[in-house]
């Protein structure tokens, strides 16, 4: 399996993500500049957290116009997996790859803490390693993590089982306690919590591993059926 990690000016979780993939799981990963226009050689794309372009205008609003995001859209259209973590989630909503938007936290403060989540749907390609309704703990670190969508979209997300992770404690005011969602096709995941920061006992826990091992297992199944 080979993963592309786009690195935007202001990204600061790209090395953490690379460490989780390569050093912990031995998944081949490349850190790519925003000028890349073709991702066809990769099996998955993961957009890291950070503050792309300084979060000017809105978080992710400038990053969506980079050449690599056009390539990410093309990549996603083929059905291959795309993940956006924190700022990556914000970029995916700005790019129209996921519904809704990420707004300022209800408290208007930057929040950095461990947060308890419930695995609402463990049947996606990003969550099969977890048990149904399993509770996990992942770090969050964001000022604009308050997920918003209108009531019609929320009803659709629930009806189509697109909500993958929900907050148990809802630290930021997200509608429906949403912490992570997939698109209708199920191949694009956006989540505000950081699974790449929860892959080692030394750092406080390994609950984030399931996102990556689920992705790896799906890739291996695809290889078998290819």
Catalytic residues: 86, 194, 196
Per-residue DSSP letters for 173-224? --GGGEEEEE-TTS-EEEESS-GGGSSBGGGTB-TTHHHHHHHHHHHHHHHH
Q: How far, in Å, CA of 205 to CA of 136, rounded?
A: 10
Cα separation, 37 vs 56, whole angstroms: 24
Question: Which residue in 167, 121, 160 sits closest to 146, CA to CA?
Answer: 167
Q: How far is CA 107 from the centre of its chain?
A: 23
């Amino acid at each position: 399996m080979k993963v592309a990690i786009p690195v935007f000016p202001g990204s600061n979780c790209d090395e953490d993500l690379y460490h989780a993939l390569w050093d912990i799981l031995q998944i081949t990963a490349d850190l790519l500049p925003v000028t890349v226009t073709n991702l066809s050689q990769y099996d998955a794309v993961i957009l890291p957290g950070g503050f792309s372009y300084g979060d000017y205008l809105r978080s992710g609003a400038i990053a969506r116009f980079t050449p690599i995001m056009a390539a990410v859209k093309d990549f996603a259209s083929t059905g291959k997996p795309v993940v956006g973590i924190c700022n990556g989630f914000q970029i995916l909503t700005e790019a129209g790859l996921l519904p809704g938007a990420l707004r300022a936290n209800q408290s208007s403060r930057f929040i950095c803490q461990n947060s308890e989540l419930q695995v609402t749907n463990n049947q996606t390609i990003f969550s099969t390693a977890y048990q149904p309704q399993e509770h996990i703990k992942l770090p969050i670190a964001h000022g604009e993590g308050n997920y918003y969508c209108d009531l019609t979209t929320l009803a659709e997300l629930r009806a189509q089982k697109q909500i993958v992770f929900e907050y148990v404690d809802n630290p930021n005011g997200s509608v429906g306690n949403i912490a992570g969602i997939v698109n209708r096709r199920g191949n694009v995941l956006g989540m505000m919590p950081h699974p790449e920061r929860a892959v080692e006992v030394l750092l406080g826990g390994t609950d984030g591993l399931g996102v990556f091992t689920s992705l790896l297992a799906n890739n291996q199944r695809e290889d078998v059926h290819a």
